Amino acid sequence: MKTEAAILWPDADEWSVEEVELDPPRHADEVLVRMAASGMCHSDEHCLTGDLPVARPLIGGHEGAGVIEEVGPGCTAFAPGDHVVFGFVPACGSCPSCASGHSNLCDSGARITGGLQADGTTRHHARGQDLRTMLLLGTFSRHTVVNVMSCVKIPDDIPMDKACLVGCGVTTGWGSAVYAAEVRPGDSVVVIGIGGIGAAAVQGARLAGAERIFAIDPSEFKREQAQRFGATHVAASIEEAFGLVQEVTWGRMADKIICAMGVGHGNLMPGIMALCAKLGTVVVTNIHPALESEVNISFLDLTLMEKKVVGSIFGSANIRYDIPKLLELYRNGQLDLDGMVTRTYPLADINQGYQDMRDAKNIRGVLVYD
Ligand SMILES: [Zn+2]
Ligand SMILES: [Zn+2]
């Protein structure tokens, strides 16, 4: 069938929206999905800039919700008409990581940067070439074929332009606070960077009972937005936050720190560690440049103060457990997804959407398909 998608061609520095030929699902573990909405996550921008090394040509997008239109021969896991959200790391359910409750680290995730179907081929083609898909999804396409391991069925009444957010940013941010940082009632929490992930981390900290939530972002708009999601204090920079956190916590500093910047840098870590209390935890959720190998941290500080630095991918969450739960929190009014969608765009305006992201105009921009 013919469809339309935003493609990153070799050497291109913007998305090209054009007609694509899409093959039907070939195997029992493949489904064809008509996309309803896709968040414009920073990670797709990282593919464009090279911060995330990926093979091209590539259809971008990995934060999506849609409706299953067709299933592969013999597929019993899903049926046409099912509403689904994609997890950006597939969850097979049976590898050691999945079996031990860490499906965000599913062994099948090793394949995601390759962007090929499980049988090593592609379903999308354009200009006579095979197109890989971002994290095996390619949600910047009106239709896509994905593996059932990436799909989570959701209730039909949840609006898709909000549901898509739990496919990456919201689950990542919320889980960074609730699971990776283990925020507890009464904690002081710092969230650095208020994009889609940071805004969700603020909400996760609030839901987990944090007493104080410090949001750090250079953008005045994002600092304002952070307060709507539950931040009690804001600062424009890590340096500015130091005096504020010191004053408000009577010098104890923050119990939990969540790094949710566009891109982290090793030279920021001394300032971040200085915000951290004794026994505190610093969660590194944002990516760092792939080739970065130097980070200046005092390991004596780790020993003497029992500080911890931990990494977290996809909020350390389990998609089949956490995605339905987060959408239930949304339905109950406890998780604000509506406020996280600053603007929506048609697919044709994707480059404008990413420019708005670079200009810090959006918490999240969302592509909405007609
Ligand atoms: Zn993402
Ligand atoms: Zn697995």
62 Cα: distance to centroid of ligand 1 (angstroms): 6
CB count in 10 Å sphere of residue 122 = 20
Residue 21, beta-bridge partner list: 2, 125
Determine the Cα–Cα distance for residues 288 and 295; give it in Å rounded to an integer.
10
Express each pLDDT in 70-88 by its tens digit.
999 999 999 999 999 999 9
Determine the Cα–Cα distance for residues 226 and 363; give it in Å rounded to an integer.
9
Express each pLDDT in 104-134 by its tens digit.
999 998 888 789 999 999 999 999 999 999 9
365 Cα: distance to centroid of ligand 2 (angstroms): 30
For residue 50, the model assigns a pLDDT of 83
pLDDT higher than threshold 90 for residue 352: yes
pLDDT higher than threshold 90 for residue 281: yes
Determine the Cα–Cα distance for residues 198 and 63; give it in Å rounded to an integer.
16
236 Cα: distance to centroid of ligand 1 (angstroms): 24
Tokens of 183: 């925020």
For residue 324, the model assigns a pLDDT of 97
Nearest ligand, measured from the Cα of 111: 2
Tell me, which fold does domain 2-153+337-368 have in CATH?
Answer: Quinone Oxidoreductase; Chain A, domain 1 (3.90.180)
94 Cα: distance to centroid of ligand 2 (angstroms): 5
For residue 370, the model assigns a pLDDT of 85
For residue 228, the model assigns a pLDDT of 97
CB count in 10 Å sphere of residue 1 = 12
Separation in Å, CA 166 to CA 41, 53, 154:
11, 24, 11
pLDDT higher than threshold 90 for residue 153: yes
Token pair 């765009």 is found at 345
Residue 258, beta-bridge partner list: 191, 283
Nearest ligand, measured from the Cα of 147: 2
| Confidence band of 323 (pLDDT split at 50, 70, 90) | very high
For residue 9, the model assigns a pLDDT of 97
pLDDT higher than threshold 90 for residue 266: yes
CB count in 10 Å sphere of residue 259 = 27
* Burial class of 5 by CB neighbour count within 10 A (0 to 12, 13 to 18, 19+): buried
Q: Residue-wise over 43-57: b if at least 16 C-beta within 10 A, else e?
A: bbbbbbeebbebebb
Global pTM value: 0.96
Tell me, which fold does domain 173-312 have in CATH?
Answer: Rossmann fold (3.40.50)
Q: State mean pLDDT over 305-312.
A: 97
pLDDT higher than threshold 90 for residue 52: no
163 Cα: distance to centroid of ligand 1 (angstroms): 14
* Burial class of 220 by CB neighbour count within 10 A (0 to 12, 13 to 18, 19+): exposed
87 Cα: distance to centroid of ligand 2 (angstroms): 12
Domain boundaries, the chain: 2-153+337-368, 173-312
Nearest ligand, measured from the Cα of 167: 1
Determine the Cα–Cα distance for residues 220 and 301; give it in Å rounded to an integer.
33
105 Cα: distance to centroid of ligand 2 (angstroms): 7
316 Cα: distance to centroid of ligand 1 (angstroms): 14
46 Cα: distance to centroid of ligand 1 (angstroms): 10
169 Cα: distance to centroid of ligand 1 (angstroms): 5
Q: State mean pLDDT over 291-311.
A: 94
99 Cα: distance to centroid of ligand 2 (angstroms): 7
Q: State mean pLDDT over 247-255.
A: 98
Classify 158 in phi/psi space as left (phi over 0), alpha (psi -120 to 50) or beta: beta
Sequence-distant (≥ 6) Cβ neighbours of residue 94 within 8 angstroms: none
287 Cα: distance to centroid of ligand 2 (angstroms): 22
DSSP state of 7: E
Query: Which of 89, 121, 116 minimizes the C-alpha distance to 105?
Result: 89
Report the mean per-residue pLDDT for the chain. Answer: 96
Dihedral (C-alpha) 263, 168, 180, 185: value to the nearest 10 degrees?
110
Tokens of 108: 């099948």
For residue 182, the model assigns a pLDDT of 98
365 Cα: distance to centroid of ligand 1 (angstroms): 12
Does residue 316 contact residue 175 with C-beta atoms inside 8 Å? yes
Determine the Cα–Cα distance for residues 7 and 4; give it in Å rounded to an integer.
9
Does residue 114 contact residue 132 with C-beta atoms inside 8 Å? yes
Does residue 234 contact residue 226 with C-beta atoms inside 8 Å? yes
110 Cα: distance to centroid of ligand 1 (angstroms): 16
95 Cα: distance to centroid of ligand 1 (angstroms): 23
Nearest ligand, measured from the Cα of 45: 1
For residues 336 and 111, the model is more confident at 336
Report strand pairing: 188-192 vs 63-71: unpaired
Separation in Å, CA 215 to CA 24, 242, 245, 261, 276:
45, 12, 11, 11, 14
Peptide bond into 57 cis (omega under 30): yes
For residue 51, the model assigns a pLDDT of 79
Q: How many CA atoms lie within 13 A of 163 on its CB side?
A: 29
Nearest ligand, measured from the Cα of 94: 2
Determine the Cα–Cα distance for residues 77 and 38; give it in Å rounded to an integer.
23
